[in-house]
Structure 1
Amino acid sequence: MKKFILAIAAITSMTATSAFAEGYVGGAIGQGHTDIDCEGAATCKLSSTGYKIFGGYKFSPNLAAEVTYFDFGKADIADPGLSLNLKTTGIGLGVAFSGNFAPQWSGVARLGIASNRVKAFATLGAASGSDSESSTNAYAGIGIGYEISKGLKLDASLDFSRGKIEGESADLRLFSVGVTYSF
């Protein structure tokens, strides 16, 4: 983790120009998906509403450092007498590479690390229990933005990561639409 943070600091310090420095914040809501095996279960709902909140600092027109809070939604798996609910959240630190490809249109690619926490709640008849586990995983994302006005963009993005619980891994995905405000 320390090496990754030092690498981000080195890259951004090489490209930093005080004439360009710009901060931004944003939020987006959409569909989260937890890709786990629930073959044979009577009910298997792996997608639900998810969201992200992020902030970043552009050191150049094309490079920024970002911090993101993810909610990848929840997954519900059930059989008669048995149910399992999984909810995954994460905090990510990474870099964003962006560029304009047409007037008012831009694209972004994100890469970083995320501390993802999977919370599980299970019931078996009258008995119930819960568990949670955090793991550090890579995350990546791509997005497209449309500038509505100076400093305000409408965004659509797709973010990916992984989560773990009880030795099992799950692929996580969030497709979201939101806004970004630059200051």
Structure 2
Amino acid sequence: MKKIALSLAVLALAAGAQAQTTRSGSNAEHNYGLLSLGQGHLNADCSGIQTCDRNAAGGKAMFGHAFGNGFAVEGGYTNFGKFRASQGAVGLSGRPEALSLSGAYTAHLSPDWGLVGRLGVARVRTKVNAEVGTLTGSSSESRTQPIAGLGVNYALTPSTRVELGVDATRAQIQGERQNVRLVSLGARMAF
């Protein structure tokens, strides 16, 4: 009886090891995480403004579940960066960030290369800070917006890919809507 139990335990461990190896492959069902850093861009009109910085450092963190047929569902957080403008003694800074839920599809171009398209909805929160001399004030607004992304990735190992991507949505505050995007480079790990 002990030999049968031991044999079943060894078979179960072997099957689990095989499933783990298969799961990290590109065509198997698996979970994954993506962390990336890059540059955000705010598509704002800066004409007539003394100093205007529409580019800022940003990043994103995502968790996804791939179904094994190229399709996946992803949830994530994207920080598009902190944008600044000033005119004399008046300074403004804006920081759009988004919580998103998206569907994704990966087209496997080869065993190592993949092309990823994402489309979903995001709850975009935009916070603006104003400074006039020593006086400060802030305002924030959250809106649900569409979010889209496109990326290309390359397999370093069966479970690790490096991904270059762009994500875009809209930020809105007090009726003013501006397009924002993040171009980023990061690592995608299957588990």
Global fold match (TM > 0.5): yes
Correspondence for 1:169 among 164, 172, 177: 177
| Alpha-carbon separation, structure 2, partners of 1:103 and 1:125 | 58
Gap regions ≥5 residues in structure 1: 1-18
Give the aligned partner of residue 115 of structure 1.
123
Query: What whole-Å deviation, never above 9, does each CA across 1:135-169 have from its counterpart, x for those lacking one?
Result: 00000000000000011000000000001001101
Question: What amino acid does structure 1 have at the position aligned with 2:129?
Answer: F
The Cα of 1:59 is off from its aligned counterpart by: 1.4
Q: Which has the larger radius of gyration?
A: 2
Residue 168 of structure 2 corresponds to residue 157 of structure 1: no
Residue 123 of structure 2 corresponds to residue 105 of structure 1: no
TM-score by length of 2: 0.84
Correspondence for 2:76 among 52, 68, 74: 68
Aligned residues: 165
Query: What whole-Å deviation, never above 9, does each CA across 1:67-111 have from its counterpart, x for those lacking one?
Result: 010000011010111110001111000100102112300010000
Superposed CA RMSD: 1.2
Question: What amino acid does structure 1 have at the position aligned with 2:80?
Answer: F
Taking the TM superposition and a 5 Å limit, the aligned residue runs for 1:1-12 are none
Segments ≥4 residues shifted beyond 2 Å? none
Taking the TM superposition and a 5 Å limit, the aligned residue runs for 1:38-117 are 38-117=46-125
Give the aligned partner of residue 14 of structure 1.
none
Query: What whole-Å deviation, never above 9, does each CA across 1:109-137 have from its counterpart, x for those lacking one?
Result: 00000001000000123322100000000
* Contact 1:34-1:74 within 8 A present in 2 as well: no
Please identify which structure carries the higher strand content: 1
Identity of aligned residues (%): 33
Give the aligned partner of residue 30 of structure 1.
38
Gap regions ≥5 residues in structure 2: 1-26
Question: What amino acid does structure 1 have at the position aligned with 2:171?
Answer: G
